[in-house]
Structure 1
Amino acid sequence: MKSLKLILSNPRYFGAAWVFTSINIWFGTWAIYIPTVKEKLGIDKADLGIALFCLSLGVFTIIPVASKFINKIGVGRASWFGVVGVTATAMLPLMAPNYNLLMAALYLFGAGNGFIDIAINTLVTEIEKEDKQNFMSAAHGFFSLGGILVGLGSFLIPVIGSPVLHMGITVVLVFILNLYFRKHYIHIVAAPVEKEPFSLKLFKPLLLLGIIGFVSFGSEGAIIDWSGLYLKEMTMAPELLIGAGFLAFSTTMTLGRFLGDGISAKIGPIKIVGLGAFIAALGYLLVLTQHTTLSIIGFAFNGLGFSVIVPELFRIGGNVKGVDSSQGVAFIAGSGYIGFLLGPVILGFIAESASLRYSFMLLLGMAVLVMGVTFFLGKKRK
């Protein structure tokens, strides 16, 4: 909890952490209105899927060029420009009068989200280097906090009565806070890195980190999409408990991220990734018992395990020798997004052709794979 106190007591850290919260507030507020947009435009699920793919396409389009732009203008200014960019595009999907403009709006919104994600993770990496303080995990905890705020804000939907107005109020409030705190980080630039020519030796640690990112993001996406169905079909959970798995996962995810920095400072970033994978694997073993209570506890273990992995990946990726911090973070982000998008799809195919239980067996295998990769990374560092 030291890093949480650090963020709450110092505007230099809170300003960056609030951007993480903002990202989830922007995206989460859009997400709760997806059914409304679908009904308003009269599109079917296939059309909606294509539109959402445009959002993902926007993310992937920006990833290859983000690091160059961040290095050119400075990571602090890039983070602020990212805030302005997403503020300008957040309302567009809800205002789109037709399907084609919806796809265009989601593409721009996705590009903005992809850029700010890379910029703010790079910014936190640079602040950690300058101040010799760990708060990356707690900053990601603030991202999870953004989801909680969106959930609480959803109770205002009947009162506000308009998706555009709801998003407008949200955008203005979030922007005002970002505007106030930007002065504490906008001047920060990335420390110069002594670059090395491309080689397999240089690429190998990034590749291993990318594998962990792919698996971790993919597992998170799978649990978000499939935990409720698993409890319903595989454990025969009553209707009241179908959402309990995701709630347990989200709660321990938030808690773990606020605790992660202190543990990382004591045992190191690679060991904590291995520990997180071990805890997640134990969670999958409990989920696979197909007992409702044990499965819910298993999802809680999953949240606790994965909570520390993603922040540490960005921290490690931003500190790879011979690689700009923004390039390392961009590589992790790209690998992770691919996993987040493809993971649920692959597991859905397995569930349809075999059983949802086999899907979660694969996730268990992936957690074990992460433990193996951290072993090789640890040996390499030694």
Structure 2
Amino acid sequence: MKSLQLIFSNPRYFAPAWVFTSLNIWFGTWAIYIPSVKEKLDINKADLGIALFCLSLGVFTVFPIASKIINKMGVGKATWVGVLFCSATAVLPLIAPNYYFLMGALFAFGASNGFLDISMNTLVTEIEKEDKQNFMSATHGFFSLGGVLVGLASFLIPIINSPVIHMGGVAILVLILNFYLRKHYVHIVAAPVEKEAFSLKFFKPLLLLGIIGFLAFAGEGAIVDWSGLYLKEVSMAPEALIGSGFLAFSVAMTLGRFLGDGISARIGSVKIVALGAAIAAVGFILVLTEATLLAIIGFALTGLGFSVIVPELFRIGGNIKGVDSAQGVSFIAGTGYSGFLLGPVILGFIAESISLKYSFYALLGCVLLVLMTTLLLQKRSSR
């Protein structure tokens, strides 16, 4: 909670934290309108999965060049540019007149998201170095807070009755606040970092953690992209409750990230990952009952479970003996982000070829695999 006090007491820390919130507001608002876009363009689940892959492709396309742009521009200015591009591209998927425009719009939106993701994390890292303060975990909690705000705003869907007006209004309001706060970080320049070559030989201990990261991020991404459609088509929830699954997930995720450090200190990193996987598994079981209320509670439990898994994977990866902490964290981030983006695409094909419910059975299987893997890691560490 100390980091929260730091953020709320000083605009130097609140400004970048709000960028994290903003990114999830843009992305989450798009996510709750996925069923509407699918219906508007009359596309099937497999086509939707391909369109979502274009979003993933945009993210991965910008990854190789983002660091060079950030270093040349300055991390503060790069973060502000990322905010501008996200604001401009957020509405494009919702105004798509056809399927091909949708794919191009999602590619642009994904590239903007990927660039801002890298720049804002680099920005927080640089501020931590300059000020000798730790608030990275709390800023990720603010990212989850963005999902909470999106979920609350989803209750306005029947009133606004226009995805374009909703997203346009959100984009403008978020941009205005970022414009006001940008003065607190736009001048910051990242210190040059000497990079080391990646060697798989020294990363064998990380491979298992990378798999866990992929599966955990895939589950998180799937709920962001598919929870609304699941409640609409499987649980037959009323329109006003379609965004409730994402809201419940985001609220629980936010609370878990703000409180997880204290629990981890008491029981250890590996045990809290196992606990998180077990809680997420119970959540998916409730989601699979198809009952709307139980499904919403299930989404909340999955959010609570996933909230503690990802930060602990970074913590474990950064403390493996014989592996540089930066390389360990980077490796897990790469595999995890791949899961977040590719997982929903794979599930889209499962949903189209079998059913959407079976996609969530697959997610339950992934979480159980994470649980078994962490129990194996716990047994090894206790020897």
Range class of TM-score, shorter chain: 0.7 to 0.9
Structure-1 residue corresponding to 2:371: 367
The count of corresponding residues between Structure 1 and Structure 2 is 371
Aligned-residue sequence identity (percent) comes to 61
Q: Deviations along 1:345-380, whole A, 9 cap, x unmatched?
A: 59768989999667524421223324545888x89x
1:89-104 equivalence runs, <5 A: 89-104=89-104
Distance 2:255 2:88 in 1: 32
1:185-334 equivalence runs, <5 A: 185-204=185-204, 207=207, 209-222=209-222, 225=226, 249-262=249-262, 266=265, 271-272=268-269, 274-284=271-281, 300-313=300-313, 321=324, 331-332=334-335, 334=337
Checking the alignment, whether the CA contact within 8 Å between 1:3 and 1:262 is kept in structure 2 is: no
Change in Cα spacing, 1:341 to 1:256, as seen in structure 2 (3 Å) is same
SS at match of 1:187: coil
Checking the alignment, whether the CA contact within 8 Å between 2:317 and 2:328 is kept in structure 1 is: yes
Structure-2 residue corresponding to 1:181: 181
Q: TM-score w.r.t. structure 1 length?
A: 0.76
Change in Cα spacing, 1:303 to 1:94, as seen in structure 2 (3 Å) is closer
The offset of 1:328, in angstroms, is 5.7
The offset of 1:334, in angstroms, is 3.7
Q: Which moved more, 1:88-97 or 1:150-159?
A: 150-159
The offset of 1:175, in angstroms, is 0.7
Structure-1 residue corresponding to 2:168: 168
Distance 1:207 1:358 in 2: 21
Change in Cα spacing, 1:338 to 1:116, as seen in structure 2 (3 Å) is same
The offset of 1:117, in angstroms, is 1.7
SS at match of 2:82: helix
Structure-2 residue corresponding to 1:29: 29
Structure-2 residue corresponding to 1:110: 110
Structure-1 residue corresponding to 2:151: 151
Distance 2:327 2:189 in 1: 12
Distance 2:60 2:127 in 1: 26
Checking the alignment, whether the CA contact within 8 Å between 1:144 and 1:254 is kept in structure 2 is: yes
Matched, 1:340 2:337: no
Distance 1:352 1:169 in 2: 31
- Which runs of 5 or more structure 1 residues have no equivalent in the other structure? none
Change in Cα spacing, 1:35 to 1:277, as seen in structure 2 (3 Å) is same
Letter in 1 for 2:143: F
The offset of 1:159, in angstroms, is 4.1
Distance 2:162 2:345 in 1: 33
Checking the alignment, whether the CA contact within 8 Å between 1:63 and 1:334 is kept in structure 2 is: no
SS at match of 2:188: coil
SS at match of 1:134: coil
CA RMSD of aligned residues (A): 4.3
Change in Cα spacing, 1:92 to 1:150, as seen in structure 2 (3 Å) is same
Distance 1:350 1:295 in 2: 20
The offset of 1:173, in angstroms, is 0.9
- Which runs of 5 or more structure 2 residues have no equivalent in the other structure? none
SS at match of 1:5: helix
The offset of 1:205, in angstroms, is 6.1
Change in Cα spacing, 1:313 to 1:122, as seen in structure 2 (3 Å) is farther
Q: Which moved more, 1:96-105 or 1:342-351?
A: 342-351
Matched, 1:57 2:60: no
Matched, 1:122 2:144: no
Q: Deviations along 1:119-156, whole A, 9 cap, x unmatched?
A: 22232233333333332232222222212222232333
Q: TM-score w.r.t. structure 2 length?
A: 0.76
Change in Cα spacing, 1:29 to 1:88, as seen in structure 2 (3 Å) is same
Distance 2:149 2:67 in 1: 30
Checking the alignment, whether the CA contact within 8 Å between 1:70 and 1:326 is kept in structure 2 is: no
Letter in 1 for 2:340: Y
Change in Cα spacing, 1:142 to 1:70, as seen in structure 2 (3 Å) is same
Checking the alignment, whether the CA contact within 8 Å between 2:70 and 2:78 is kept in structure 1 is: yes
Checking the alignment, whether the CA contact within 8 Å between 1:41 and 1:98 is kept in structure 2 is: yes
Distance 2:333 2:359 in 1: 35
